[in-house]
Amino acid sequence: MENYFNKIIELFVKSDVSTSSQDEFYRWLIGEKFSVEKEKALYGLWDNLKEGTPAETSTQTQQSLYDVQKKIKQRQPGANVRLIRFWQVSAAVLLIALLSALYFTSNKTLVNADLIEQYVPVAEMTRLTLPDGTEVQMNSTTTLLYPEQFTGESRSVYLLGEANFKVAKNEKQPFIVKSNDFQVTALGTEFNMKAYPGDSTLSAILLSGSVEVRFNNMASALILKPSEQFTYNRQTKEETISHPDLYDATAWQKGELVFKSTSLREIITVLERKYPYSFVYALNTLKDDKYTFRFKDKTSLQEVMDIIAEVSGHIRYRIEDDKCYILPL
Amino acid sequence: MNTESYRREFEEIFIQYFPKVRTFAAILLKSEQEAEDIAQDIFVKLWEQPDLWEGNLVRNYLYTMVKNHVFNRIKRKNIESKYINSRMNQLSLEEITEFKDPLNDIYVQELQLLLRLSLEQLPDKRRQIFEMSRFENLSNNEIAERLNLSVRTVEQHIYLVLKDLKKLFLIAFFFIKF
């Protein structure tokens, strides 16, 4: 009887109807009965409506676009920099925090400087050189904000995500990477910094030179020696210093995936950045066991999941379209 | 992605889908102004959700959004006149469907609505005659008298209505069966 539903909608849509018939139709449309059939018929209607092309854009649509752009501007007054995607934390608040941070560290000269935003989407990596010659390699789903010109007393950038910095030497102008809960100050040095908004821990590893790490609302500071890793837990506010394998810690730059006694949940968080799939699972499916894995560059998600499923022994997985379902065995 | 390419991508999506969203709302709400408001609201919101800007995802998202907006507007319309339905009940749908099918009882609401909307398609005079005949239970003579028409004309109008309706219901009914 699907056709009854299609026919009703078709008849309603194609002609003018009296107010009472219109009400009758509305009552029927939003009624609970046969909602699946109605939904199907409605989707059919949607599906049959033509999509626009640039060539045949009407002036009406142009006007609407203009109106919408105006409304968008009104909603975010003065924001030249758009903070996108995973930045679900209040973008405006962070932007203000960042701007005031720049304001205070830069002797007021940076306030009007244009900020450049570099964003790396899921499953990609980017290398870029900052205006001062500092080389940055950015991991996936990472945002870096930096000014067009480094003026003022320090070179400040803002990081959300993970990146490796080879800082150009300039002792007069320290290089500062700021993040939500901590910041790293360097003179001329190479370090890796990880500060994803969703992660509970942040970390910085010094590869060469020396850096100062500030955390705990900038109240605490310590100096890292080469090959030391600083880890800060956002929740417990505890910091630790460790000596990880430098090769492993920077393996992401070569496209490799290295997990050292890591829980499945943490592994999935990393995989979600590395591969363009979203993971669907129930939290109680994943036990708290810790695993160590090492995957080469360009390993497909399927291969990764095959091995993880095999080793863990208590999960299976299924990849459908852009979703990876993880289910108990 | 920088601001400029971000804006361009949004414009492309806008040009592709905005007319579709607006038309969908307009034909259901029968109001260009309401449709325009809804479509603009949806796209203002879409600007803030760039992770949805992908082919199929954005298509389905926009559909869900526009459907929900339309439904919300309908719910706010405070629809009146429930009693009209009962008058329709007097009409034997069997007369039009010509066969007794157990499914007709299940889909009685759909059949009534279908009949009602079909009648809307008819020329005014013809619909008036048919409603007088079947809903008000007037005889052909009474109708002819009231409308100052010949009985023959009244009969002819009713015949044509029934023929149209039977055809429409038959198509709607059998389409799915075969």
Per-residue pLDDT reduced to its tens digit, A55-65: 777 888 888 99
Domain extent for B105: 84-177
Count of structural domains, chain A:
3
Burial environment of residue A35 by CB neighbours within 10 A (0 to 12, 13 to 18, 19 or more): exposed
Question: Which single residue is written with the structure tokens 């044509």?
Answer: B160
Tell me if B79 and A51 make a contact (CB, 8 A cut-off). Answer: no
Please indicate, yes or no, whether residues A64 and A165 belong to a single structural domain of this protein. Answer: no
User: Is residue A282 in some structural domain?
Assistant: yes
Number of H helices, E strands in chain A: 8, 18
Whole-model pTM: value is 0.47
Q: What percent of chain B has pLDDT over 70?
A: 78
Q: What is the pairing mode between strands A278-281 and A323-328?
A: parallel
Do residues B38 and B59 both lie within one domain? yes
Last residue of a domain, one of B44, B76, B108: B76
Express each pLDDT in B130-170 by its tens digit.
888 887 788 888 888 888 888 888 888 888 888 777 777 76
Best-predicted range by mean pLDDT (A72-76, A96-100, B26-30): B26-30
**Strand boundaries in chain A, DSSP class E:** 115-120, 126-129, 135-138, 142-147, 155-166, 175-178, 182-186, 190-195, 201-208, 211-215, 220-224, 229-233, 239-242, 257-263, 278-281, 290-295, 315-320, 323-328
Higher confidence at residue B60 or residue A180?
B60
Domain end residue (candidates: A248, A282, A300): A248
The confidence score (pLDDT) of residue B78 equals: 64
Question: Is A53 or B46 the better-scoring residue by pLDDT?
Answer: B46
Q: Which chain A residues are Cβ-neighbours of B1 within 8 angstroms?
A: 84, 119, 121
Above 70 in pLDDT, residue A160? Answer: yes
Q: Does B81 touch chain A (CB under 8 A)?
A: yes
A26/B74 touch (CB, cutoff 8 Å), yes or no: yes
Q: Which residue has the higher pLDDT, A94 or A292?
A: A292
pLDDT over 90 at B100, yes or no: no
**What does the alpha-carbon distance between residue B54 and residue A245 come to, in Å, rounded to a whole number?**
39
Q: Which residue of B has its CA nearest to A51?
A: B16
Q: What per-residue confidence (pLDDT) applies to B98?
A: 55
pLDDT at B36 over 70: yes
> Is the Cβ of B24 closer than 8 Å to some Cβ of chain A?
yes
Nearest to A142 by CA among A294, A274, A278, A324: A274
Report the length, in residues, of chain A.
329
Examine the domain organization and report whether A238 and A261 are in the same domain.
no
CB contact at 8 A, A78 and B56: no
Of residues A212, A226, A214, A303, the one with CA closest to residue A257: A303
Mean pLDDT of A271-289: 84
Q: Is the pLDDT of residue A130 over 80?
A: yes
Residues B120 and B59 in one domain: no
Contact A52 B111 (CB under 8 A): no
The strand pair at A155-166 and A175-178 is best described as: parallel
DSSP A51: P
Question: Which ipTM did the prediction report?
Answer: 0.79
Q: How confident is the model at residue A112 (pLDDT cuts 50, 70, 90)?
A: very low
**Contact between chains at B16 and A52 (C-beta distance less than 8 A):** yes
Question: Which pLDDT score, from 0 to 100, does residue A85 have?
Answer: 41
**Are A244 and A264 in the same domain?**
no
Residue A16 lies in a domain: yes
Count of the separate structural domains present in chain B: 2
Using the 3D structure, point to which of A217, A248, A279 is the last residue of a domain: A248
Domain end: B76, B111, B127, which one?
Answer: B76
Residues B93, B58 within the same domain: no
Predicted local confidence at residue B33, as pLDDT: 92
B-chain residues near A81 (CB < 8 A): 3
Give the pLDDT of residue A84.
Answer: 42
Q: Are A17 and B117 in contact (CB under 8 A)?
A: yes
Q: Report chain A residues whose CB lies below 8 A from the CB of B110.
A: 1, 4-5, 8, 28, 34
Encode pLDDT of A94-108 as tens digits. 554 555 444 444 433
Q: Name every chain B residue with its beta carbon within 8 A of the beta carbon of A15.
A: 120-121
Asked whether residue B91 falls in the same domain as residue B170, the answer is yes
